[in-house]
Amino acid sequence: MAFENLSEREKRVLANLINYYISSADPVGSRVIAQKFKMGVSSATIRNTLQDLEELGLVSQPHTSAGRIPTDLGYRVYVDYLVQPEELSETEKERIKRTLLQEGRGINAILGQTCRILSEITSQLGVSIAPRFDEGILKRIDLIPISEERIMAVVVVRSGLARSVIIEVETSIPESSLHEVESLLNERLSGLTLGEIRDTISARLSDTSVGGRLIKLIIDSKEQIWTEDNKGNVHIAGADNLLLQPEFTEFDQISQLIKLVEDGSVLRDFLLKAKDEGLFITIGQENQFSEIMNCSLVTSSYQVGKIKGTIGIVGPTRMQYEKLASVVDYTAKTITQVLAGIEEKKEN
């Protein structure tokens, strides 16, 4: 049955039930709705409406004698049609800005602080994921000798992000040869994405007579140099918040959830579908992993140049969506502004 076919009474009863359940975590009966929300109809009428909503799959009854709770579909209707994002107070906005606008910090420090402020404000698990590095466009690569048998390759993309990789060499390579190879790499690879470079570097360097064994070493090390390292790409904070929720009474539930969130590649791949959609909410069974099928994710993308990353919160499906959506959305926009400022300073 389409949402548009719900009666006004059904919409109001569903919204009132979910609002009460979010605050109480207890199944909600018709009498509670009648007394709490003053709908102007009898408890018996509300009871009949709840039965209709149950037949539609929007609420369920855990026990015959108990009240009802929202289903995942009920939450989806609630989020998509029945609530509007709640405007943040100026104090809350200022707190987020002040936290993220501290000077002299790189992107990892900013993302670490982001998940902490998200967890503090929302009382959920805060998550921030660094941008996909392999989508970045190469600005330059620097080859720096750090010992006779070790070279540091510093890869800088146009968004201002950089990563460094240590390459082991069998024998010392003259600095003049390093500069020669560095110039060749920048000439042939600048302007390509790191993913493109990784997949085509052998063909792009096959006809060169420069560099000899160093070029071969760089080709052989393509996965090491051009593929992002997921370590440190995911930041989480506020796991203790979940322990306070009645939905997470078992420690195993929390540990499995944290393990999934810490696996940046898994969570990132799941969120890829949302990366161009701004604010994105997945509820319960919509999540493809059993570890978070009793959770909701409220996420939004932020941008560094043309590269996107994700921040958000993870918590029980029984959460204050209208408030949390606003917090996540505003924080993502603020990060984009902060990182744009850092990038502009680097360009100048």
pLDDT score of 266: 64
pLDDT score of 189: 93
- Residue 311: beta bridge partners? 128, 300
pLDDT score of 348: 47
Return the axis-axis angle of helices 8-24 and 30-37, rounded to nearest 10°: 100
Give the mean model confidence (pLDDT) for residues 147-171: 84
> What band does 272 get if pLDDT is binned at 50, 70 and 90?
low
- At 72-119, the pLDDT tens digits run 999 999 999 999 889 999 999 999 999 888 755 677 788 889 999 999
Give the mean model confidence (pLDDT) for residues 197-221: 86
Among 247, 256, 239, 244, CA closest to 314: 239
DSSP assignment letter at 279? S
This prediction has a pTM of 0.81
At 144, give phi and psi (nearest 5°): -120, 120
CA distance 67 to 81: 23
Which helix (H) or strand (E) segment holds residue 316: the answer is strand 307-316
CA distance 6 to 46: 14
In single-letter form, the type of residue at position 118 comes to L
The owner of tokens 């009382």 is: 123
The beta strand positions in 98-253, using DSSP E, are 125-129, 138-147, 150-157, 162-168, 234-237
For the record, the structure tokens of 122 come out as 């929302």
CATH numbers and ranges of domains, the chain: 3-82 (1.10.10.10), 90-132+230-347 (3.30.450.40), 134-226 (3.30.390.60)
- At 223-267, the pLDDT tens digits run 888 876 655 578 889 888 888 888 887 777 778 877 777 776 666
Q: 141-145, 193-197, 291-295: which range is least confident on average?
A: 291-295
